[in-house]
């Protein structure tokens, strides 16, 4: 029992670390895109570098395993579509709409996971998932420019929702397949497939030429080695020991860390609305992690104290 609890704690810490690294990636992506690199080119380069690195590290672990390749293909396809469609969607909607609608995957994960894994999520994780989306709404959306569903943004909003659905499938599929296969090799295979899908898309729609500075190379390495290679390996390993709904909640901290990094690195402004968003997400995490067991313990102590008196 103690060993299992230790694994759960390590899995949670791994996913919080992922969220922190991904949060730093927001600023990095913004710098590279503002520097002239096309969105899908950036995705392709990130995953190509990550794939090459992981192949070199784990080359001895490669075996002919058809079921592993198929699993990696499914997960890689869902992740590639999520990345690409989200990027295209950003062209047709506002950044705030895009950021908020992408976070909807947190609510979709328990629904999708139930059909894939046949495991019903508990009421605490469902409540926490809903609170996370509300928190992200306050954290990312400028209500002065928020225009969800209007004709101008409708196409982008729909594409972003498709991206959220695909990411929900990615998280749910990782939860399902990481218990059947070596999670590290599962991560490597899916990264290879994302590299292939995004490279083809980038070459067809954006061309082979791109611009990058010396500082941009360092940022690209951060995104490739840490945000992509390390984080996806951590995700696949961590999700072997926790539920997809719980994983989605912890990984959604990406938006919190992304906002904080934007304030620190890009000198973006933080508002009272954002602080409220932070507070709601913090409450959601407490609910997800503790199942409010501390309230039950306090109630039991009070009952015992009343009996003694």
Q: What's the CA gap between 124 and 269, in Å, rounded?
A: 33
Instruction: Using CB atoms within 10 Å of the CB of residue 135, give its burial: 0 to 12 exposed, 13 to 18 middle, 19+ buried.
Output: buried
pLDDT tens figures, 234-252: 999 999 998 888 898 888 8
Q: Which two tokens stand for residue 264?
A: 């620190």
Q: Are 95 and 255 in contact (CB under 8 A)?
A: no
Residue spans of the chain under pLDDT 50: none
Q: Are 52 and 191 in contact (CB under 8 A)?
A: no
Q: What's the CA gap between 76 and 82, in Å, rounded?
A: 10
Q: Which two tokens stand for residue 31?
A: 């710098």
DSSP codes of every residue in 208-267 = S-----HHHHHHHHIIIIIIIIIHHHHHHHHTTSS-HHHHHHHHTTHHHHHHHHHHHHS-
Q: Which two tokens stand for residue 235?
A: 């995700």
- All structural domains of the chain with their residue ranges: 2-308
Q: Which two tokens stand for residue 161?
A: 């929702």
What mean pLDDT value characterizes the chain? 86
Residue 25 has what pLDDT?
82
Residue 149 has what pLDDT?
57
Q: Which two tokens stand for residue 149?
A: 């569903």
Distances (CA, A) of 145 to 26, 95, 140, 151: 20, 10, 11, 14
Helix (H) or strand (E) holding 82: helix 66-92
**In this structure, how many other beta carbons lie within 10 angstroms of the beta carbon of residue 276?**
14
Q: Which two tokens stand for residue 285?
A: 């995490």
pLDDT tens figures, 3-46: 778 888 899 999 999 989 988 887 788 788 878 888 899 999 99
């Amino acid at each position: 029992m103690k060993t299992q609890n230790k694994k759960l704690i390590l899995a949670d810490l791994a996913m919080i670390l992922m969220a922190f690294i991904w949060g730093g990636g927001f600023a990095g992506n913004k710098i590279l895109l503002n520097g002239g690199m096309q969105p899908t080119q950036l995705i392709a380069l990130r995953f190509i570098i990550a794939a090459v690195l992981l192949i070199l590290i784990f080359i001895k672990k490669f075996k002919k395993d058809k079921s592993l390749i198929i699993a990696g293909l499914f997960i890689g396809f869902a992740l590639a579509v999520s990345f690409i469609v989200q990027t295209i969607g950003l062209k047709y909607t506002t950044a705030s709409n895009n950021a908020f609608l992408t976070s909807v995957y947190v609510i979709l994960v328990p629904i999708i996971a139930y059909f894939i894994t046949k495991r019903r999520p508990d009421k605490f994780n469902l409540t926490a998932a809903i609170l996370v989306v509300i928190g992200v709404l306050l954290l990312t959306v400028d209500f002065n420019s928020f225009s969800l569903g209007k004709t101008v943004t409708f196409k982008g909003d729909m594409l972003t929702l498709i991206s959220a659905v695909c990411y929900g499938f990615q998280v749910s599929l990782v939860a399902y397949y990481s218990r059947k296969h070596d999670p590290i090799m599962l991560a490597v295979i899916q990264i290879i497939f994302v590299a292939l899908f995004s490279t083809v898309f980038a070459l067809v729609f954006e061309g082979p030429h791109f611009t990058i500075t010396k500082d941009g190379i360092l940022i690209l390495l951060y995104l490739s080695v840490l945000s992509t290679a390390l984080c996806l390996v951590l995700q696949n390993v961590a999700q072997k020991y926790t539920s997809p709904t719980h994983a989605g909640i912890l990984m959604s901290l990406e938006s919190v860390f992304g906002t904080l990094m934007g304030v620190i690195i890009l000198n973006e402004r933080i508002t009272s609305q954002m602080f409220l968003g932070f507070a709601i997400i913090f409450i959601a995490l407490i609910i997800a992690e503790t199942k409010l067991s501390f309230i039950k313990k306090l109630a039991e102590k009070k009952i015992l104290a009343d009996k003694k008196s």
